[in-house]
Amino acid sequence: MTAKINPTKGSPNSRILGVGGYRPTRVVPNEEILKHIDSSDEWIRSRSGITTRHWAGPDETVAEMTLEAAGKAVADAGIVPEQVGAVVISTVSHFKQTPAVATEIADRMGAGKAAAFDINAGCAGFGYGLTLAKGMVVEGSAEYVLVVGAERLSDLTDLTDRSTAFLFGDGAGAVIVGPAEEPGIGPSIWGSEGDKSDVISQTVAWDAYRDGEVEKFPAIRQEGQTVFRWAVFEMAKVAKQALDAAGVAPADLDVFIPHQANMRIIDSMVKTLKLPEHVTVARDVETTGNTSAASIPLAMERLLATGQAKSGDTALVIGFGAGLAYAATVVTLP
């Protein structure tokens, strides 16, 4: 007789219950970047909207920044670390290949024997983590899931590259996903366009650097105009699909939190999506820079902390970047 498998016993719904962020103490203005490239403050602002960014010090590692953000998210959710059943960390800048930094975080934060793993989906990483967390809560493998985007992109920045030297910042943003009475995380529209994977990439592989084939430490490079066109036109379509999948019209949206890549991209997406004036738009990139997987939760945390958004607001979030990977969904803010 064929055995029957017991059904899962998760929650029928999930939502974000708490959010936390950490920005390194060192603030780096454009003037400091200009010591290394032939440009101007006006050019950087007009191209990206960035005026300052945060760069981590020696003690502000990916793990330490993650712990700070995670602690705030746990407290904001009103739970204790022991209740966290899974830890998902999205990062491209934790240089220890193994073990995953998530396992260290689970132990140090007091989450016991929680499942823990890292993911690498670039700037779409937070959206990927959110989708995985929703599945765990609904499926029942974890009641509460910690999702973190944490980056030290200053370690992967070529300060002599005029096209990218001013873009990147460091930081960590975290959320707790848990059970809910009503749906708080909509269907995910996610995917990738691997045929364009060379548009944003690491300059050389680690083994090439190890073997002495190149002397310069690997850095992030990108084809700016190609990325801009893809983000504005293709990602606006994905954002619209996420709204449609959630059954939310642009007029019913309260907040828009796109990946904080570039102010021009953000403004162009707002125009393409024809978002009403009442929609609050995250523009954290101005003072935080592009923090890849950390950018959406960091922007979310700042909007809530400053009162620009409030608990219960309906927000569209979309991440996009290296891969070219993307993920969009509609969420209820914690």
Residue 125 to residues 4, 65, 120, 173, 242, Cα–Cα distance (Å): 36, 17, 6, 12, 17
Nearest CA to 92 out of 68, 69, 124 is that of 124
Q: How far is the C-alpha of 261 from the C-alpha of 326, rounded, in Å?
A: 13
Q: What is the 3-state secondary structure (H, E, C) of the chain?
A: CCCCCCCCCCCCCEEEEEEEEECCCEEEEHHHHCCCCCCCHHHHHHHHCCCEEEECCCCCCHHHHHHHHHHHHHHHHCCCHHHEEEEEEECCCCCCCCCCHHHHHHHHHCCCCCEEEEECCHHHHHHHHHHHHHHHHHHCCCCEEEEEEEEEHHHHCCCCCCCCCCCECEEEEEEEEEECCCCCECCCEEEECHHHCCCEEECCCHHHHHCCCCCCCCCEEECHHHHHHHHHHHHHHHHHHHHHHHCCCHHHCCEEEECCCCHHHHHHHHHHHCCCCCCEECCCHHHHCECHHHHHHHHHHHHHHHCCCCCCCEEEEEEEEHHHEEEEEEEECC
Show which residues are catalytic: 123, 259, 290
Q: HSE (CB half, 13 Å, CA atoms) of 295?
A: 34
Amino acid identity for residue 208 in this structure: A
